[in-house]
Amino acid sequence: MSRAFVTRLGERHDDDFFEGLDTRVKILTVFVVTTLAIAGPLATQLLLVTFVLALALSAGLWRWAIAAVVFSLLTWMVLVGVATRLQSGGVEDPAGFLVGIMARGNAIFLTAAWLITTTKLYDFGVALESLRVPVAMTLPLTVAVRFIPTLLDEMNGIWDALRVRGLVRSPWDAARHPKRVFDLVLTPAVLRSLRLADELACAAETRGMGGVLRRTPYRPSRMRGKDCVVTAALFGATALCVASAFVVPNDVIAGRINLVVG
Amino acid sequence: MTTANERPQSPQSSSRFTVRELVLIGVLTALSVVLQTVVAVGLHMVPIAAIPGLMHGVMAFVSCLVLYVMARKVPRAGTLTIGLTTYGLAVLILKGSVFHSAGLVLGGVAADVFAHLRGGYQGRWTIIAALVLFRVIATAVAQLDKVVKQMTQVHLVWYFIALAILGAAVGAVLGGVAGRRFMDRMERAGVAA
Amino acid sequence: MLSVENVDFRYAATAGDVLRGVNLRVAPGELVLLTGPSGAGKSTLLDCVNGLGAAAHGGEFRGCIRFGEEGLGRLAPWERSRVVATVRQNPATQFFQLNVGDELAFTLEYRDLSVGQIAERVASTSRAMQIDHLLHRDIFSLSSGERQRVALAAMHATHAPLLLFDEPTANLDAPATDLMLACMARFKRERRAILVVEHRLDAIRSVADRLVVIDGGRVVYDGPLDALDDEAFCSRHCLRHSRARSFIELPPGAHHPDDARRLSARDVRWVSRRKTVLDNAALLIRGGECVGIRGTNGAGKTSMARALCGLEKKARGRIDLDGREFSPAKMLGRVAYVAQQSDRQLFTDSVRRELSGGGATTETVNELLDRFHLTALADRHPQALSGGERQRVAIAAAMASDPEFLILDEPTGGMDGGRFAALVALLRDLTARGVGLLLITHDLELLHAACDRAVEMREGRVVREWERNEFELLDGAENPPAGSAPKGEGDRKAALKTLTAGFVAANPQR
């Protein structure tokens, strides 16, 4: 998780189609994809990963998609190779394993990537609140993510102070003496965090937070025309994925894949 | 300058957590995320990180140390649920890991229920036991991610999962004890009171 | 009008009253400058007005605080927020959102306003504060000047008639300070009552209407600003100086630069993320000499210091230390460095261990404890000390390895006159012992009081240099000429002009 990633959670682009989509629709999409990926039969999963790849590419996530496919292929090759060496029979069902790692893993990963790259932190909080998640849950989330860049700066400052004082010379020192370095870092890191939390809490109270933690969001969650279209498309795709399992049974797909892989 | 209807909302007793406590939970959650990231990056530089279960143990140590501070600073039923749900949502947003997030939330709820049954977060060993329970559940649920992603018939993976859970439990005990020592030291010095 | 009447305040954790019978009035359109020594009760008084005193710190409040006809004393901080808005020293710890537009709406969302009203308020505020172009940006990618402007805009959006500022200029460079003063002047014209707590008095004096001095929890002066010209008065109440002509002068012959020991940098260049941070910068510091670096934020001051002490591995160039040549990456551990936040430079659980951490002998540690007046604090936890004491420990710890050169980054932020004088005495003692000092500071008084030479950095280069006898030319030199301001900041004067015009356009009723 880099600073650039946190910046992505804050910077807005009003002309982006997926960014303008209601966050609840995106959360629903992740939920549906995860459920189908875990519980669905082979045909469903293959269709599912096709849909998810199309979604990721249309959102401009082609780098994520390529990385995910390459990584899962490499993982499959390495694990099958290791299994063949360790066990006389190797992997019992390499085709099923390939589908599992390619379809299930990538479908879940790419949908989650689509959610996090097209959703602003604020919109995520508002969507959760509109789903009846109390502000008592969303406020710490906002604070936590918003505080990560600040804490990274703090950690850099602490690390620099350790280096310039000669208490740590290089990252290798931390690897050689992890307990000593961790002890040195811990005190200023925790105490700075407590002080900064106090300052932030003071700012919250003087800026009107307190009593009933209820707000009128400046950018409320709203189902607009395009949200309805996307939701309808999602249900359509889900129905298609589920129906495909009745048309093409598992063993037919497994046989075809084993033919190709084998 | 101010319109008549522009009144801040009135306080209500049902809101058990104050803004101050919620902000503190948020900041300590961020600290936990950052410390774990820094330690993980450092640990990956040395080959011992490949020892099964070690990484989970170290991560459990770091997170439980910070969570101990959280439970001592906000000793209310629900603190770990809020903190770990926040953590889970942050993990979901930052890493997109569904099972990791679910494990954190379930672990947090279990820890709070346990602490509630034991009379709250007043006892130091109660906090440590709650942290161990949290970490074991969180690690176990997070392993489902691997099961789903790999769907592998490589039998060795089950040893890895067992070692991960064991490592997490040991790390949680050590982290809780370290957190306890840290807070005692800070309170004696009058720093973190 | 804000009326503070017979206010006493006592913290739960301390024995005595911090405020004793304080009376104060601030009229609409008036800016009252509140100052006094550290620990005198200034920030506590602000916290009593905005409600944090009792709510956050568990204190006991007695007396009466009213704004107009409304009593504030019994209201919680969030209930007072429609009347009182507070801006603290560090804007980064006041932001709750990642996005500028969302941040402007933050306070308004917790009032009973409609979405349309909030959107209208955000739009009018962004026009007034000239931050339309920032509305979609991530807050943490903004420059420090832009962040300050967003913090002021968030304050503006509340439409609160009473504004409190807690050390608003402590860490600001000249353009950001000017922006702050322009906003304060505008808020005054909008008939808002303004109370400013500040130690650095040189800038704020130009917009203040009245001076209130608190010492020992009591108001000891309430009247015109002329009292700041009285040396005896300022010394008595540990006040900083407010005019260049009265700055502490370095005694003639106080420093004896040693030409044999030199730290010099040549052609230091550092490009970070395609941005040139240091552009063939050059600098010389001699043993026993104190050099000050000034310049706007982002001019490369801290980067230069970090390159000199080896913290910027990717910096290129040549650094000579006592005749030996090093690359910046090889300088680590050869030059001591004390950054601005002393509490993140203290790692152990006692002052004595802090000084011995780098391997210093017991004799050296005892000598340092004695020299830095820390003997009585030797067994205390460094993080439990006051801000001034923590800074002394950080400097002493930096000196434990007996370095020939020491760099201090903004050492006077939030200091009162007493602590300032103590720091200057400490710096003079170090130079008298032959240590070469480099001070990064926006504080003109510190340059006058401690430095033999001053240099100015702009856009990664050292562009000007003043010898001690030219220091009267330092006033205003930090302001970049038109057209040369760093990208994103814009020309300061043009920005102020448009800001003023923007206020008028967005607030025609005022």
Q: How far is CA A217 from the centre of its chain?
A: 24
Q: How far is CA C418 from CA C38, C237, C482, in A?
A: 9, 8, 38
Inspect the interface and report whether the beta carbons of A202 and C88 lie closer than 8 Å: yes
Residue type, C97: Q
According to the model, what pLDDT value does residue B134 have? 92
Cα end-to-end span (Å), chain A? 39
Is residue C41 within 8 Å of C215, Cβ to Cβ?
no
Rounded Cα distance, C54 and C351, in Å: 32
Residue C328 burial (C-beta neighbours within 10 Å; 0-12, 13-18, 19+): buried
- pLDDT value at residue C436: 93
Under an 8 A CB cutoff, do A161 and C345 touch? yes
Let me know if residue A215 belongs to a domain: no
**Domain range holding A72?**
3-11+21-126+221-261
Q: How far is C91 from chain B (nearest CA, A)?
A: 17
ipTM reported for the complex, 2 dp: 0.84
Give the three-state DSSP class for C61.
Answer: strand
Closest CB from A188, A203, A204 relative to C344: A188
Please check whether residue A211 lies inside any domain of the structure: no
pLDDT band at C472 (very low <50, low <70, confident <90, very high): confident
Check if the beta carbon of residue C457 is closer than 8 Å to that of residue C463.
Answer: yes
* Phi, psi (degrees; rounded to nearest 5) at A87: -120, 140
- The DSSP secondary-structure symbol of C113 reads -
A235 and A141 housed in the same domain: no
The Cα–Cα gap between A116 and B89 comes to: 11
Cα separation, C244 vs C472, in Å, equals: 8
Q: C3-58: per-residue pLDDT in tens?
A: 999 999 988 777 788 899 999 999 999 999 999 988 888 888 999 998 887 766 77
Tally the domains of chain A.
Answer: 2
Residue B96: pLDDT band (50, 70, 90) is low
pLDDT tens digits for range A195-244: 889 889 999 888 888 776 678 888 888 888 888 998 898 888 888 877 87
Q: Give SS3 for A77.
A: helix
Q: Do domains C1-83+162-239 and C90-159+488-510 have the same CATH topology?
A: yes
Q: Shortest Cα distance from B131 to chain A (angstroms)?
A: 18
Q: Quote the minimal CA–CA distance from B24 to chain C in Å.
A: 13
Q: Which residues pair with C461 in a beta bridge?
A: C458
| Superfamily, domain C258-474 | P-loop containing nucleotide triphosphate hydrolases (3.40.50.300)
> Best interface-test mutation with B: which of A84, A147, A158, A159 has the largest number of B CBs within 10 A?
A147
Shortest alpha-carbon distance between residue C202 and chain B (Å): 31
- Is domain C1-83+162-239 in CATH 3.40.50.300, yes or no? yes
Q: Strand C316-321 vs strand C258-272: parallel, antiparallel, or unpaired?
A: antiparallel
Contact criterion met (CB below 8 Å) for C298 and C458? no
**Whole-number Å distance between alpha carbons of C451 and C436:** 11
CATH of domain C90-159+488-510: 3.40.50.300
- Check residue C396 and give its pLDDT: 92
Is pLDDT above 80 for B160? no
C237 CA: distance to closest CA in chain B (Å): 29
Q: What is the pLDDT of residue C291?
A: 94
Residue A232: burial class (beta carbons within 10 Å; 0-12, 13-18, 19+) = exposed
d(CA A55, CA A69): 15
Q: Does C88 score more than 90 pLDDT? A: no
Average pLDDT, chain C: 84
Residue A177 to residues B43, B174, C53, C101: CA-CA distances in angstroms?
11, 17, 44, 45
Tell me the residue length of chain A: 262
Residue B4, chain C, CB below 8 Å: the answer is no
Mean pLDDT of C497-510: 44
- pLDDT score recorded for residue C443: 86
Measured CA to CA, the distance from residue A151 to residue A141 in angstroms comes to 15
Chain B interface mutation, best of C67, C111, C509, highest count of B Cβ atoms under 10 Å: C111
The answer on A156 and A56 residing in a single domain is no
The pLDDT score that the predictor gives to residue B146 is 65
Please give the average per-residue pLDDT across C266-271, as a whole number.
90
User: A118 and A230 share a domain?
Assistant: yes
The better pLDDT of the pair C505, A65 is held by: A65
Nearest beta carbon to residue A218 from set C85, C102, C139: C102
Distance from CA of B18 to the nearest CA of C (A): 11
> Residue B31: its chain C contacts at CB < 8 A?
none
pLDDT band at B11 (very low <50, low <70, confident <90, very high): very low
Q: How many CA atoms lie within 13 A of C222 on its CB side?
A: 7
B83/A201 CB distance under 8 A: no
The rounded distance, in Å, linking the Cα atoms of C45 and A60 is 54
Grade residue A175 by pLDDT with cuts at 50, 70 and 90: confident
Q: Which residues pair with C290 in a beta bridge?
A: C437
Q: Which helix (H) or strand (E) holds C264?
A: strand C258-272
- More confidently predicted of C134 and A9: C134
pLDDT of B153 above 50: no
A69-73, A245-249, C348-352, C416-420: which has the minimum mean pLDDT?
A245-249
User: How far is residue A159's CA from residue A161's CA, in Å, rounded to a whole number?
Assistant: 5
Interface A-B: count of C-beta contacts within 8 A? 199
Interface of A with C in 140-159 (CB under 8 A): 142-143, 145-146, 149-150, 154, 157-158
Of A184, A203, A216, the CB nearest to C93: A203
User: Chains with 3 or more CB pairs closer than 8 angstroms to A?
Assistant: B, C
Q: Check A164 against C309: CB less than 8 A apart.
A: yes
What is the tens place of the pLDDT at every residue in B126-152?
999 999 999 999 888 887 766 655 554
**Confidence at B8, pLDDT banded by 50, 70, 90:** very low
Residues 154-193, chain C: which have Cβ within 8 Å of B? 159-161, 192
Which of B23, B48, B59 to mutate: most A Cβ within 10 Å? B23
Beta carbons within 8 Å of A57's beta carbon, 6+ residues apart? A65
pLDDT at C492: 46
A38 and A168 both lie in a single domain: no
Shortest alpha-carbon distance between residue A229 and chain B (Å): 25
Which residues is C265 bridged to in the sheet?
C283, C319
Best CA proximity match to C310, nearest among C283, C294, C293, C333: C333
Of C407, C273, C258, C439, which Cα lies nearest the Cα of C331? C407
B113 pLDDT band, cuts 50/70/90, is: very high
C101-133 confidence digits (pLDDT tens): 999 999 899 888 899 999 999 999 999 888 899
Report pLDDT for A111: 87
Q: C493 phi and psi, to 5 degrees?
A: -65, -40
Is the pLDDT reported for residue B1 higher than 60? no
- Chain B nearest-CA residue for C385: B191
What is the spatial distance between Cα B47 and Cα C186, in angstroms, rounded to a whole number?
61
Q: State the nearest Cα–Cα gap between B175 and chain A, in angstroms.
A: 12
* Contact of C240 with C252, CB cutoff 8 Å: no
Nearest-CB residue to C161 (from B1, B5, B185): B1
Residue in chain A lying closest to B14 (CA): A212
- Return the pLDDT at C497: 54
**Which one, of C311, B191, B141, lies nearest residue A157 by Cα?**
C311
Nearest to A97 by CA among B147, B108, C67, C143: B147
Contact (CB<8Å) C383/A187: yes
Distance from CA of A63 to the nearest CA of C (A): 21
Mean pLDDT, to the nearest integer, of C465-478? 73
Whether the predicted pLDDT of C259 surpasses 80: no
pLDDT band for C509, please (50, 70, 90 cuts).
very low
The shortest C-alpha distance from C406 to chain B (Å) reads 29
Question: Residue C139 is nearest to which of A10, A196, A201, comparing CB atoms?
Answer: A10
Tokens encoding C330: 């090889």
Q: Which residues of A touch C310 (CB under 8 A)?
A: 163-164
Residues of C in contact with B182 (CB under 8 A): none
How many Cβ contacts (< 8 angstroms) between chains B and C? Answer: 43
Q: What is the mean pLDDT of chain A?
A: 82
Secondary structure class of C505 (helix, strand, coil) = helix
Task: Give the mean model confidence (pLDDT) for residues C336-349.
Answer: 88
Q: Please indicate, yes or no, whether residues A122 and A229 belong to a single structural domain of this protein.
A: yes
Are residues A104 and A7 part of one domain?
A: yes
Are A56 and A116 in the same domain? yes
- Alpha carbon distance C186, C192 (integer Å): 9
How far apart are the CA of B164 and the nearest CA of chain A, in angstroms? 19
If residue C289 lies in a helix (H) or strand (E), which one and from where to where? none
Average pLDDT, chain B: 79
Residue C78 forms contact with B (CB below 8 Å): yes
Do A121 and A94 sit in the same domain of this protein? yes
Interchain contact, C159 vs B189, CB within 8 Å: no
Listed by number, the residues of chain C in 284-323 with a beta carbon closer than 8 Å to a beta carbon of chain B are none
State both tokens at C332: 């680590």
Q: Locate the chain A residue with the closest alpha carbon to B15.
A: A212
The residue to which tokens 């000429």 are assigned: C481
* Residue of chain C nearest B26, judged by CA positions: C96
Window from A138-142, B3-7, C172-176 with minimum mean pLDDT? B3-7
DSSP code of residue B2: -
* Count of helices and strands (H, E) across chain B: 6, 0
Domain presence at residue A36: yes
Q: Please judge whether B8 and C83 are an interchain contact, meaning their C-beta atoms are less than 8 angstroms apart.
A: no
* Burial environment of residue C274 by CB neighbours within 10 A (0 to 12, 13 to 18, 19 or more): exposed
The single residue listed with the structure tokens 């005990």 is B173
Output the CA–CA distances (angstroms, integers) from residue B173 to B24, B34, B187, C126, in the order listed: 23, 21, 21, 51
Chain A residues with CB under 8 Å of B182 CB are 186-187, 190
Cβ proximity of B136 and B24 under 8 Å: no
| pLDDT value for B176 | 85
What pLDDT, in 10s, does the model give residues A91-134? 666 776 777 777 777 888 888 888 888 888 899 889 988 888 88
CB-closest option in A82, A151, A209 to B34: A151
Indicate the DSSP class of residue C99: B
Contacts with B30 from chain C: Cβ below 8 Å: none
Which of B11, B17, B93 comes nearest A145 by C-beta?
Answer: B93
Q: Which residue has the tokens 């702009």?
A: C458
Q: Which amino acid is at C502?
A: G
Cβ–Cβ gap A145/B34 under 8 Å? no
Q: Which tens digits make up the pLDDT trace of C479-490?
A: 544 444 444 334
Residue in chain B lying closest to C351 (CA): B189
Least confident of A227-231, B175-179, C89-93: C89-93
Does residue A154 contact residue C344 with C-beta atoms inside 8 Å? yes
For residue C70, list its beta bridge partners: C67
Chain A's closest residue to B187, CA to CA, is: A191
Residue whose tokens read 């290791």: A82
- Note whether A226 and A121 are same-domain residues: yes
Helix %, strand %, coil % of chain B (to 5):
75, 0, 25
pLDDT at B95: 61
- Strand ranges, E, within C360-472: 405-409, 436-440, 453-458, 461-467
Report percent pLDDT > 70 for chain A. Answer: 87
Do residues C399 and C336 touch, judged by C-beta distance below 8 A?
Answer: yes
Q: Is the pLDDT of residue A89 over 80?
A: no
For B83-100, b/e burial (b = at least 16 CB within 10 A) is: bbbbbbbbbbbbbbbbbb
Q: Are residues A118 and A35 in the same domain?
A: yes
- φ, ψ dihedrals at C40, nearest 5°: -80, -20
